[in-house]
């Protein structure tokens, strides 16, 4: 197991997880859920990870999830299903995130229960704003527990603990699912989501990080960090030519990624 010996888990979180004793982890392969997996393993609780693999998750997220689970030594179940067969999700209305979280966590709860896990936990942390995350309402309704949030552990703390623990995800950029790239009211299709994923992969291959390719279905709007604005001008032609096969136009969104 490629993890440093130091525990790197706050006492209150260790106590919380030890108290649970046994739980399923809704796992994304991101910073928060990977650290929670590590903390659960260090607390010696019985934990199994469940990864929901839908059209909203890019391929690299599954790769990261598999890599993290193997390194930490936690078994993982991949749950594959077509999220677009649900009108409340596919139509991309204002409650899409809530509907999607309800569907995903309901499936995890059902499958985890068959595996003997009555409790499901997720990686929501104390920095997450409930007002900005409508899906958190689904977690409450389904009684999903959020140990990091309950123990007051913030995103910067998660990154610091992850770094000292030797987790490769410590500096991984926040990555909301592909569903967030499409303007509300524009129905999702497999093709549209694939176009967004390809476009973001192309930008990553060019060395850009922590950005978004947003779309109304026809136009690609690039949102970049302030640090990348100086880099985009010299790369204008390369970016434009790479993305134009997938969108009718490519523009730079003036909103800066924080």
* Phi/psi of residue 197, nearest 5 degrees: -60, -45
Confidence class for position 2, pLDDT limits 50, 70, 90: very low
Which residue from 152, 26, 137, 8 is spatially nearest to 77, judged by alpha carbons? 26
> Would you say residue 184 has pLDDT above 60?
yes
Question: How many angstroms separate the CA atoms of 45 and 129, rounded?
Answer: 28
> Would you say residue 225 has pLDDT above 70?
yes
Question: How many angstroms separate the CA atoms of 13 and 149, rounded?
Answer: 10
* Six-digit token string for 32: 């928060």
Confidence class for position 256, pLDDT limits 50, 70, 90: low
Please name the residue that has the structure tokens 């970016």: 239
> Would you say residue 226 has pLDDT above 90?
no
Confidence class for position 1, pLDDT limits 50, 70, 90: very low
Read off the DSSP letter of residue 214: E
pLDDT, mean over the chain: 92
Task: List, in order, residues 6 or more apart from 96 with CB less than 8 Å away.
Answer: 88, 89, 179, 184
Percentage of the chain exceeding pLDDT 70? 95
End-to-end CA distance of the chain: 34
Work out the average pLDDT over 123-147.
87
What sections of 43-114 are H helices per DSSP? 59-72, 87-90, 96-114
Task: List, in order, residues 6 or more apart from 211 with CB less than 8 Å away.
Answer: 200, 203, 222, 223, 224, 225, 228, 257
The number of residues making up the chain comes to 258
State pLDDT tens for residues 34-45: 999 999 999 999
Taking the whole predicted model, whether its pTM rises above 0.75 is answered as: yes
> Would you say residue 79 has pLDDT above 70?
yes
Question: How many angstroms separate the CA atoms of 185 and 239, rounded?
Answer: 27
Question: How many angstroms separate the CA atoms of 70 and 42, rounded?
Answer: 15
Question: How many angstroms separate the CA atoms of 144 and 177, rounded?
Answer: 20
Confidence class for position 131, pLDDT limits 50, 70, 90: low
Work out the average pLDDT over 95-114.
96
- pLDDT at 3 (0 to 100): 43
Quick check: helix, strand or coil at residue 211? coil
* Phi/psi of residue 220, nearest 5 degrees: -100, 125
Cα 212 → chain centroid = 14
Instruction: Give the β-pairing of 76-80 and 219-223.
Output: unpaired
Go through the domains of the chain in sequence order and give each one's CATH number. Answer: 11-165 (3.40.50.620), 189-252 (3.30.70)
Read off the DSSP letter of residue 179: G
- pLDDT at 132 (0 to 100): 61
């Amino acid at each position: 197991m490629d993890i440093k010996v130091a525990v790197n888990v706050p006492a209150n979180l260790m106590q919380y997880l030890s108290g649970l004793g046994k739980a399923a982890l809704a796992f994304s392969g991101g910073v928060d859920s990977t650290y929670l997996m590590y903390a659960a393993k260090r607390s010696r609780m019985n934990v199994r990870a469940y990864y929901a693999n839908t059209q909203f998750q890019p391929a690299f997220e599954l790769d990261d999830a598999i890599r993290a689970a193997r390194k930490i030594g936690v078994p993982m179940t991949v749950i594959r299903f077509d999220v677009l067969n649900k009108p409340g999700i596919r139509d991309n209305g204002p409650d899409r995130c809530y509907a999607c979280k309800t569907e995903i966590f309901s499936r995890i709860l059902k499958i985890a229960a068959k595996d003997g896990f009555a409790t499901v936990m997720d990686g929501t942390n104390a920095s997450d704003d409930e007002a900005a995350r409508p899906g958190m309402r689904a977690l409450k309704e389904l009684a999903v527990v959020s140990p990091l949030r309950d123990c007051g552990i913030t995103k910067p703390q998660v990154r610091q603990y992850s770094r000292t623990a030797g987790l490769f995800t410590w500096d991984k950029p926040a990555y909301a699912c592909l569903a967030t790239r499409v303007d509300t009211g524009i129905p999702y299709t497999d093709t549209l989501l694939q176009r967004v994923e390809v476009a973001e992969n192309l930008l990553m291959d060019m060395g850009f990080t922590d950005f978004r390719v947003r779309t109304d279905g026809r136009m690609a709007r690039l949102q970049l960090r302030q640090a990348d604005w100086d880099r985009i001008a010299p790369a204008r032609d390369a970016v434009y030519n790479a993305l134009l096969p997938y969108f009718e136009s490519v523009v730079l969104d003036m909103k800066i990624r924080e």
